[in-house]
Amino acid sequence: MLIKKRPSWTMGESDATPEEIYMNRRDWLRGAGFSGLGLAAAISGIGGFATSATAAIGGYPAPRNLAYRLDRDITPEEDATSYTNFYEFGSSKNITKRAQKLITDPWVVTIDGLVETELQLDAEDLIARAGGLEERLYRHRCVEAWAMAVPWSGVPLAKLVNLANPKVEAKYLRMETFFDPSIAPGQKQDWYPWPYVEGLTLDEAANELAFLATGIYGKPMPAQNGAPIRLVTPWKYGFKSVKSISRFTFTDERPVSFWEQLNAREYGFWANVNPDVPHPRWSQKTERLLGSNKNVPTQIFNGYGAEVASLYNGMFPNDGRALFH
Ligand code: MTE
């Protein structure tokens, strides 16, 4: 496929746009779009779908799950919330201001496809049904070779899988970001295959590490980090962690993700982190930590091999590298 404009992660480090935008707390809260009072109205009357009742989700900060520990310092909040990839709002890292156009309350989430019960409900209601929030400290590794370590608040993705009650034929979970070019100028660029799509196998989606995040640093998610609900898969390159999800579809076909459509050779479906499998145009041996700018060695599966390596046992006996593209 022809790519008329280079994605920013095809740039060298020296080309990267410097961080300039630092939000104050008031702007941040307004941008996040959460009332703090729980959702005012449940989404109702949507033909053909079960609808949900109103329920308030737990407050922030959510209780921390101490099973998830870091081997490094937490990235300063202002770095993690101002150096962001969200192509819907532009291809630079400085999209914070533009992303505030995103209206995240209410936010309808559709769960459909090969499931016993299709659902359409508000993101807050979904989280409440999934049992309320917890906080986890995770490393995050972008394919561009920068990394951060942040506290996410959210729920295990496995809870959504359980709620959906997939049919036996379902093998994959496809996740899709909103599509609204009137607020997201990047979506007017028709050489990109909008909306942003990502996918996991059902085994990956049910893995304990796969997380649906609604907050960061003990507060609701800022728009630029993917409010109101985004995926976090810390053993995979960051482009798998799709932001601002509006649809979850259970399917028997492997989803073709946004970046895979643009350039399958460089951004494959599996995208598991591996220092020994370089990106076709740069090494993945080390990563630059946001905040300190220190370079540290990259770890296989981003250090989460104990939790996820068994997902891939025997999968590509003749091509061990296939899992890491
Ligand atoms: N999701 C959407 N919808 N649009 C995007 O452009 N960028 C991805 C991922 N999810 C992206 C997205 C990439 S490349 C990365 S590294 C992470 O989001 C970055 O998450 P962060 O900005 O919160 O650090």
Query: Which residue ranges make up each domain of the chain?
Result: 26-324
CATH no. for 26-324: 3.90.420.10
The residue nearest atom 22 of ligand 1, judged by CA position, is 84
Measured in angstroms, how far is the CA atom of residue 45 from the centroid of ligand 1? 33
The residue nearest atom 2 of ligand 1, judged by CA position, is 243
Instruction: Give the per-residue pLDDT at 258.
Output: 98
The residue nearest atom 23 of ligand 1, judged by CA position, is 225
pLDDT band at 21 (very low <50, low <70, confident <90, very high): very low
The residue nearest atom 8 of ligand 1, judged by CA position, is 239
Residues 229-246: tens digit of each pLDDT: 999 999 999 999 999 999
Q: Which two tokens stand for residue 317?
A: 């006996």
Instruction: Give the per-residue pLDDT at 117.
Output: 86
User: What percent of the chain is predicted at pLDDT more than 90?
Assistant: 80
pLDDT band at 20 (very low <50, low <70, confident <90, very high): very low
Which residue type, as a one-letter code, is found at position 187?
Q
Measured in angstroms, how far is the CA atom of residue 122 from the centroid of ligand 1? 22
Please give the span between the terminal C-alpha atoms of the chain, in angstroms, as a whole number.
Answer: 18
Instruction: Say if CB 115 and CB 131 are below 8 A apart.
Output: no
Residue 73 has pLDDT above 80, yes or no: yes
Pocket test of ligand 1: the residue of 28, 79, 86 to mutate, having most ligand atoms within 8 Å of its CB, is 86
Pocket test of ligand 1: the residue of 89, 231, 243, 260 to mutate, having most ligand atoms within 8 Å of its CB, is 243
Please report the atom of ligand 1 found closest to the CA of residue 238: 16
* Measured distance CA(236)–CA(302) in Å, rounded: 7
CA 36 to chain centre: 23
Pocket test of ligand 1: the residue of 83, 85, 177, 240 to mutate, having most ligand atoms within 8 Å of its CB, is 85
For ligand 1, say whether the CB of 239 is within 6 Å of any of its atoms. yes
* Measured distance CA(74)–CA(150) in Å, rounded: 6
What's the pTM?
A: 0.85
For ligand 1, say whether the CB of 75 is within 6 Å of any of its atoms. no
For ligand 1, say whether the CB of 85 is within 6 Å of any of its atoms. yes
**Block residue for tokens 């907050």:** 215
Instruction: Give the per-residue pLDDT at 211.
Output: 98
* Measured distance CA(187)–CA(193) in Å, rounded: 9
Instruction: Give the per-residue pLDDT at 59.
Output: 86
Measured in angstroms, how far is the CA atom of residue 163 from the centroid of ligand 1? 26
Instruction: Say if CB 69 and CB 207 are below 8 A apart.
Output: no
The burial class, CB within 10 Å (0-12 / 13-18 / 19+), for 173 is buried
Residue 320 has pLDDT above 70, yes or no: yes
User: What percent of the chain is predicted at pLDDT more than 70?
Assistant: 82
Residue 19 pairs with which residues in a beta bridge? none
For ligand 1, say whether the CB of 142 is within 6 Å of any of its atoms. yes
For ligand 1, say whether the CB of 241 is within 6 Å of any of its atoms. yes
Region 20-29 average pLDDT: 27
Please report the atom of ligand 1 found closest to the CA of residue 87: 6
Instruction: Say if CB 269 and CB 233 are below 8 A apart.
Output: no
pLDDT band at 47 (very low <50, low <70, confident <90, very high): very low
